[in-house]
Amino acid sequence: MNATIERFLQYLRHERNLSWRTVDTYQRDLLQWEAYWTAGGHPLDLLTVTPSDIRTWIMERASQGDCSATLRRRVQALRALYRYLLKKNLVSTNPAAQVELAKLPKPLPKLVREKTVDALLDAEVDESDFTQVRDRLIVMLFYETGIRLSELIGLQDAAVDTVTCELKVHGKRDKDRLVPFGSELARWIGCYRTLRDGVRPECGNLLVTAKGKPLYPSLVYHVVHDGLAQAGGTGKLSPHVLRHTFASVMLNRGAQLNSVKELLGHESLAATQVYTHVTLSELQHNYELAHPRALKKGG
């Protein structure tokens, strides 16, 4: 092993007090770099390494099958090594800092199956019970309007009009938007408001606790999670997943991307476009399950 790399690893162990697992990862990446450099029979000279040398190595590792996360980690190991060399005044620049890190693939939003939400919303509810009606309304608002958790908690009673079937949402960056909703949701809001008057709300919020106080995030989370779990949902079951599901359902039903952007309150179209990938993924899954040619082995 190169003596400078060895000193760097000792520095990580004894001065930085990093875990053995972390140091071992640094060591493997740096030894991989050293092996690449010395493959032609030349000793590793850390002082003459250029950004181009590192990029060539990364391209070679990518061709060998390294994933984006591994490529990023290898460059970050070299960056850390050269930060150490800068600290020791052994180099004047960090060549690895000029190498762009590989982009990590963005995970697709998690969704709840429509049949799971339908099972929850179609289940019987005692319409004389305040908590049961409120909890049903919470799920319906997320699923039918796509609003955020913070927006639902802060939704003012005066901002919800069941005649025009519109609600005014106060969103991120203090921006307001109008979101339409259907007659079924309007009926449940009316039913809920009748019951809510009996708990004497202490604030102007649409949704309150049984004591009339504003809702809080953990309560809303448990209402959504427990309801979807009882309806057969699996995986991540949260208010934000219902927001993702709303967007996906809207696009699957033919809504225009820009319209969904406005409904969600996104600042840019790019934030909404991720749902088109979800939609295409769902379509591909359904195609592979149903199309006769796709069902054939190798088809």
Each residue's pLDDT expressed in tens, for the chain with a length of 299 residues: 788 899 999 999 998 888 889 999 999 999 999 998 888 677 788 888 899 999 999 999 998 888 899 999 999 999 999 999 999 999 999 999 999 988 877 766 688 888 999 999 999 999 999 999 999 999 999 999 999 999 999 999 999 999 999 999 998 888 999 999 999 999 999 999 999 988 888 899 999 999 999 999 999 999 999 999 999 988 889 999 999 999 888 888 888 888 888 889 888 887 787 777 656 555 555 545 554 544 454 44
Helix (H, G, I), strand (E, B) or coil at 273: helix
| Residue 244 among the catalytic residues | no
Annotated catalytic residue: which of 136, 196, 243, 244? 243
Distances in whole angstroms, Cα of residue 91 to Cα of each of 124, 181, 233: 72, 63, 56
- Same domain as 282, residue 174: yes
Question: Residue 298 — left, alpha, or beta (φ > 0 → left; ψ -120 to 50 → alpha)?
Answer: left
The predicted pLDDT at position 286 comes to: 52
CATH of residue 174's domain is 1.10.443.10
Domain holding 85, by residue range, is 3-98
Annotated catalytic residue: which of 148, 170, 177, 225? 148
Q: Is the distance from CB of 133 to CB of 125 less than 8 angstroms?
A: yes
- Same domain as 136, residue 81: no
User: Tens digits of per-residue pLDDT, 17-39?
Assistant: 888 899 999 999 999 999 988 88
CA angle 200, 202, 204 (to 5 degrees): 105
Instruction: State if pTM tops 0.75.
Output: no
| Residue 240 among the catalytic residues | yes
Residue 165, CB-side half-sphere exposure with 13 Å CA sphere: 11
The predicted pLDDT at position 284 comes to: 56
Question: Residue 231 — left, alpha, or beta (φ > 0 → left; ψ -120 to 50 → alpha)?
Answer: alpha
Phi, psi for 166 (deg, rounded to 5): -140, 145
Q: Is the distance from CB of 81 to CB of 34 less than 8 angstroms?
A: no
Please check whether residue 106 lies inside any domain of the structure: no
3-state SS record for 96-110: HHHCCCCCCCCCCCC
Annotated catalytic residue: which of 28, 172, 187, 285? 172
The predicted pLDDT at position 294 comes to: 47
- Same domain as 131, residue 91: no
Q: Which of 70, 98, 126 is the last residue of a domain?
A: 98
- Same domain as 278, residue 179: yes
Please check whether residue 103 lies inside any domain of the structure: no
Helix (H, G, I), strand (E, B) or coil at 169: strand
Q: State the total domains in the chain.
A: 2
- Same domain as 91, residue 132: no
- Same domain as 282, residue 186: yes
| Residue 266 among the catalytic residues | yes
Rounded-to-integer distance, Cα 179 and Cα 191, Å: 20
The predicted pLDDT at position 249 comes to: 86
Q: Is the distance from CB of 128 to CB of 195 less than 8 angstroms?
A: yes
CATH of residue 22's domain is 1.10.150.130
Amino acid in position 278: V
Please check whether residue 146 lies inside any domain of the structure: yes
